Amino acid sequence: MNLELGVYTFGNTPRTADGGTGATALAVRDALEAVRLADEVGLDFFGFGEHHTASMPLSSPTAMVNAAAASTRRIKLGTTVTVLSTDEPLRVFEQLATAAAIAPGRIETVAGRGSSPITFPLFDFDENDYDMLYASKLDLLIAANSSDRITWNGPHRQRPLVDATIVPRPEQPLRIWLGTGGSPESVLRAVETGLPMFLGILGGTPQHWAQYGHAYRDAWDQVGHPADDARIAVAVHGFVGTDGRQAKATYLEHELRMFQIGAAETGRPAMSPSGREAALEPGGMVFAGGPNEIADRILHLHQLLGHDRQILQMDVGGMPHAIYLKAIELLGAEVLPQIRKELG
């Protein structure tokens, strides 16, 4: 069974000499440099997430996918995630279909609800409509992906669509993943809609997340979906360095800074740093360390979960860009070959 390996980013704004926030435009350019390197070193996938903060400023992942489509040759690209509740699903589809015209067969999207309510006031939506907006917009996105002419009505629209033409069309339908942080309701929604499941993971254990995989596949089988379509992707925090101990220390420092800055930017309580070190060790779900350890831990999770793709967020907390690029290089040159050899 093949296991794809890749990277995702929300953008990583560099820090200034006094510890402040640098230019957000540079974070965009850095992300595009990173995806070009990921393509060169043979990684399978690169994803662009959506945040609307100064420290993680990739607010338009579909725009990033289009830019990356024009500057890469073989790597698969996607949004990870598009915050669909506060976006326009037809526009999301049109933008990704445009990218698919540039890079046929390489474009995907993860449709999620988002981990922060920051986009609701920003785009003038009512947070009380959280569930309705997501369910209705997801249904419309699936409809647009299924046919070039759609007649559709749902609660988030004031007027129905009647024989509306949605162009351009990708030469094959886009793969749409349902993004979830692991709620049972989202697992069932993925099954009901017939979508592959994308798990966004910040903590827990491999055994814990394997339970979600088993629940998804069991429910999938019960409703009679084709077994080969029950795909699972895993997005985790992680980092690869030549020295495992130093890699853990480097990532822990920048990850904790990311949590602190992110909490301040979104008005949330700061995440307590106590005990986070354990998540970076075997048995945890932060994949930071040397190439051999990371390969072993990914293979162990694959043995339990049987997932089809694992992607790592490595550029966090203002991590210097050169260090991030080296980690991408190691992931492609040293970790990926071990996984290919073991599973090949």
Residue 151 has pLDDT above 70, yes or no: yes
Instruction: Report the pLDDT value the prediction gives residue 245, as an integer from 0 to 100.
Output: 98
Q: Which stretch of 1-5, 85-89, 238-242 has the lowest confidence by average pLDDT?
A: 1-5
C-alpha 122/C-alpha 62 separation (Å) is 18
Look over the chain and give the mean of its residue pLDDT values, rounded to a whole number. Answer: 96
Angle between helices 89-102 and 61-71 (to 10 degrees): 10
Instruction: Report the pLDDT value the prediction gives residue 113, as an integer from 0 to 100.
Output: 85
Backbone dihedral angles phi then psi of residue 282, each to the nearest 5 degrees: -50, 135
C-alpha closest to that of 232 among 213, 214, 218, 219: 213
How many degrees, rounded to 5, is the angle at CA 123 between CA 122 and CA 128? 90
Angle between helices 206-223 and 184-193 (to 10 degrees): 30
Residue 274 has pLDDT above 80, yes or no: no
> Does the predicted model carry a pTM greater than 0.85?
yes
- 254: CB partners within 8 A, 6+ apart: 316, 317, 318, 319
Backbone dihedral angles phi then psi of residue 194, each to the nearest 5 degrees: 70, 30
Q: Which stretch of 35-49, 69-83, 116-130, 260-274 has the lowest confidence by average pLDDT?
A: 260-274
pLDDT grade, residue 273 (50/70/90)? low
Contact 217/188 with Cβ under 8 angstroms? no
Q: Look up residue 290 and give its two tokens.
A: 């040397």
In this predicted model, what pLDDT tens digit does every residue of 298-307 receive, in sequence order? 999 999 999 9
In this predicted model, what pLDDT tens digit does every residue of 97-129 receive, in sequence order? 999 999 999 999 999 987 778 999 999 999 999
Residue 245: C-alpha distances to residues 46, 327, 332 (Å): 26, 14, 20
Residue 35 has pLDDT above 80, yes or no: yes
Mean pLDDT of 146-167: 98
Residue 212 has pLDDT above 80, yes or no: yes
Kindly report the number of other CB atoms within 10 A of residue 157's CB atom.
13
